[in-house]
């Protein structure tokens, strides 16, 4: 069954007062019953553990009590056969209801009606290619690197001429390492929908320092 679902607390324990419907998590699925089993077997419990790991708890979190305290609200639509639209509605509800355990799709602009929705042909590969282009354009224009005759090769643990083959290899290793750190610092794995729906805001939030 294709649907968008909301997992709520029956009794408010972890959600705050502003969360009117006690929403813990919002998701979408082509097979809700299978997804529900995954949530009740481990997922919701593990997500809560991670969320609460930095908070002081008087009692340890019990898996059975977590599962017993949740209920599901299902949203069904004939239009949910369109996978992209189903994910669009999921994003709309995440932004609207601000569930405790969803970390992505909080800042995008989403359409809740199928008539207004236009299928996006932008893919994750398009996204990766674009943010790589932004990074390496900035990295190649830096003036604080590349002014030395030699460069340290972290794998060989030696210094080499910057213009030698091993020196060029060291430059590539350093740039890739910097790129990975930049990508995770900006949490780009969580911002695909923001890029897709509000590229201006996505670009403004990029940090390079």
pLDDT of residue 209: 77
The residues of the chain scoring below 50 in pLDDT are none
Reference 193, options 99, 114, 90; nearest CA is: 90
pLDDT of residue 148: 87
pLDDT of residue 57: 65
DSSP state of 149: S
Count of all residues that appear for the chain in the document: 209
**What tokens were used for 136?**
């390496």
DSSP state of 110: -
**Distance from C-alpha of 60 to C-alpha of 28, rounded to nearest angstrom:** 30
Task: Give how far Cα 95 sits from Cα of 43, 103, 106, 178, 193, Å.
Answer: 21, 10, 5, 32, 11
pLDDT of residue 56: 61
Pairing of strands 23-29, 70-75: unpaired
**Distance from C-alpha of 76 to C-alpha of 73, rounded to nearest angstrom:** 10
Secondary structure E strands in 3-103: 3-9, 23-29, 70-75
**What tokens were used for 58?**
């008087």
Check: pTM over 0.75? Answer yes or no. no
């Amino acid at each position: 069954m294709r649907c968008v679902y909301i997992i709520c607390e029956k009794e408010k324990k972890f959600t705050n007062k502003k969360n009117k419907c006690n929403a813990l998590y919002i998701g979408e699925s082509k097979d809700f019953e299978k997804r529900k089993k995954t949530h009740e077997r481990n997922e919701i419990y593990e997500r809560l553990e991670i969320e609460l790991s930095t908070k002081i708890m008087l009692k340890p979190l019990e898996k059975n009590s977590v599962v017993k305290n949740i209920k599901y609200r299902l949203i069904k639509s004939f239009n949910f056969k369109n996978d992209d639209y189903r994910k669009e509605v999921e994003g709309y509800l995440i932004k609207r209801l601000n569930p405790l355990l969803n970390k992505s799709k909080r800042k995008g602009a989403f359409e809740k009606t199928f008539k207004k929705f236009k299928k996006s042909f932008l893919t994750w590969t398009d996204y990766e290619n674009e943010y790589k282009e932004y990074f390496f354009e900035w990295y190649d224009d830096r003036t604080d690197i590349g002014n030395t005759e030699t460069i340290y090769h972290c794998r060989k643990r030696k210094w080499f001429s910057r213009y030698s083959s091993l020196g060029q290899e060291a430059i590539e290793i350093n740039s890739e390492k910097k790129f990975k750190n930049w990508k995770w610092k900006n949490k780009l794995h969580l911002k695909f929908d923001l890029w897709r729906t509000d590229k201006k805001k996505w670009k403004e939030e990029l940090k390079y320092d």
